[in-house]
Structure 1
Amino acid sequence: MTIEGRQDGAERPQEKQRGPVVLRRSRLSEPTTTDQRLLDSRGPSDWVHTDPWRVMRIQSEFVEGFGALAEVPRAVTVFGSARTTPDHPEYAAGVELGAALAKIGCAVITGGGPGAMEAVNRGASEAGGLSIGLGIELPFEQGLNPWVDLGVNFRYFFVRKTMFIKYAQAFVCLPGGFGTMDELFEALTLVQTKKVTKFPVVLFGKSYWQGLYDWIRDSMRASGKIGDKDLALLHLTDDIDDAVGIVQEAYVAWEATH
């Protein structure tokens, strides 16, 4: 996917991220990603001999991420679709949300890509807040959006997910696809099982999320697969002030126990 331009209007060539490495022009033809090579065991058996060395690369990604984000202030991780277009109301909502979070002193953390992620980064950056993007190596998506102030690129999804969770006091999910669903349910599972300190998960956009919320309530909870306390982890809203208020209240409660 071609990056059409930056804030200063200068054109940028098509590129792909491979962890901290940027690939452009002739290097774009590399056919696989690092995650794919790690998880796909088909083919010659030489992968058996290289996997132990991959541990060093994985370790280096954790070290780089921890080092880059260690002094980040209180933050909110916002998930959302890379396919949201700049003229869509969901993009405008993302800009407004990013700005509102910045105004209460929260950094925003996104996946650093286009669409809803770019909108949130843009809103936070324009409002003078800290705008963070955690990118991932993908075969079809460009690098970090131009509104990211602090960016880290990862090869491995599981390392990146750790960073999304470790440095946030709340999650907000804008409308999104499979990636957003993956991140949403991983966050819910970690909060439910007390692997992370309990904090809110906000579903922003009632018309988009209502069907999923109803299914969780009427199928999961009704059949005893989750309990009332689990359902209460989710907050469904259309209002920016409401979403930010939930984040603020949770932070005050969290701060009182630390």
Structure 2
Amino acid sequence: MRDKLAGPILKRRGQAQETTTTDQRLLDSRGPSDWVHQDPWRVLRIQAEFVEGFGALAELGPAIAVFGSSRTQPDHPTYEIGERVGRALVEAGFAVITGGGPGTMEAANKGASQAGGLSVGLGIELPFEAGLNPWVDKGINFRYFFARKTMFVKYSQGFMVLPGGIGTLDEMFEALTLAQTRKVTRFPIVLIGVDYWSGLLAWMRESMLADGKISQHDLDMLTLTDDVDEAVALMVAARAGDAG
């Protein structure tokens, strides 16, 4: 039986029939290009996304992530609320992080930028969104959702969630899960929009809580309000708690 070592990988029997070496395949530009779409190469791309994200955001300082629909139009009341949120967070000493897209994300970035603060956008490669909005002062565009989500949680001290769709719900429940399982601590999650979010919270209380699938403490991790100042005050209080 012939053994073949390909770096750290041991190959035997039918797997050992390959006659070229790794160096040879690297330097032979005439070879096929399918390798750029294979999983080992994707690992390096994933690693690069984490390195770029950590490097760009390591010195960000206190920051709050703001989520909301990319479909919110500039003449919609939620857009104006998003601007107020971005502005108020900067005035309270926070940087503002959004998904970098249009709609509510753009509004929060705009409010933060116009207030003279740091407006950050963590974009994602999607077939139906074109790049980062013009109010992003520091932006990173990701290929992989999980790398992007890590940046949101690692570099944000809290989440403010405005009315949105499936992507917004995904981010909200991601944060709630991490807080529930104590992967993150002192992490306020505020839902802005009483009319919009009340139905979801009622279902969670009347179905999930009533059936024992969650606890009251889980629900208590979510704060519902229409008051931007109250929402920002909760973020400030959490920051003070971390400092203490």
- Does residue 70 (structure 1) correspond to residue 91 (structure 2)? The answer is no
- Does residue 118 (structure 1) correspond to residue 106 (structure 2)? The answer is yes
Residue 55 of structure 1: aligned partner:
43
Give ranges in structure 1 of 5+ residues lacking alignment. Answer: 1-45
In our comparison, the structure showing a higher alpha carbon Rg is: 2
Residue 126 of structure 2: aligned partner:
138
- Would you identify which runs of 4 or more consecutive aligned residues in structure 1 move more than 6 Å? none
CA distance in 2: counterparts of 1:50 and 1:247, whole angstroms: 42
What's the secondary structure of 1:132's corresponding residue? Answer: strand
CA distance in 2: counterparts of 1:249 and 1:218, whole angstroms: 30
Residue 14 of structure 1: aligned partner:
none
Query: Is 242-251 or 100-109 further displaced after alignment?
Result: 242-251
* Matched residue count: 211
- Does residue 229 (structure 1) correspond to residue 217 (structure 2)? The answer is yes
TM-score normalised by structure 2 residue count: 0.84
Structure 1 letter corresponding to 2:107: A
CA distance in 1: counterparts of 2:207 and 2:225, whole angstroms: 21
Q: By how many angstroms is 1:95 displaced? A: 0.2
- Does residue 159 (structure 1) correspond to residue 147 (structure 2)? The answer is yes
State percent identity of aligned pairs. 66
What's the secondary structure of 2:38's corresponding residue? Answer: helix
Residue 190 of structure 2: aligned partner:
202
Q: By how many angstroms is 1:185 displaced? A: 0.4
- Does residue 238 (structure 1) correspond to residue 230 (structure 2)? The answer is no
What's the secondary structure of 1:209's corresponding residue? Answer: helix
Residues 173-197 of structure 1 show CA distances to partners (whole Å, capped at 9, x for unaligned) of 0000000011110110001001112
Q: By how many angstroms is 1:198 displaced? A: 3.0
What's the secondary structure of 1:195's corresponding residue? Answer: coil
Residues 13-52 of structure 1 show CA distances to partners (whole Å, capped at 9, x for unaligned) of xxxxxxxxxxxxxxxxxxxxxxxxxxxxxxxxx78x8211
RMSD: 1.3
Query: Is 185-194 or 196-205 further displaced after alignment?
Result: 196-205
CA distance in 2: counterparts of 1:218 and 1:245, whole angstroms: 29
Q: Give the one of 87, 102, 107 matched to 2:90.
A: 102
Residue 20 of structure 2: aligned partner:
none
Give ranges in structure 2 of 5+ residues lacking alignment. Answer: 1-33
Larger relative contact order (C-alpha < 8 A, sep ≥ 6)?
A: 1
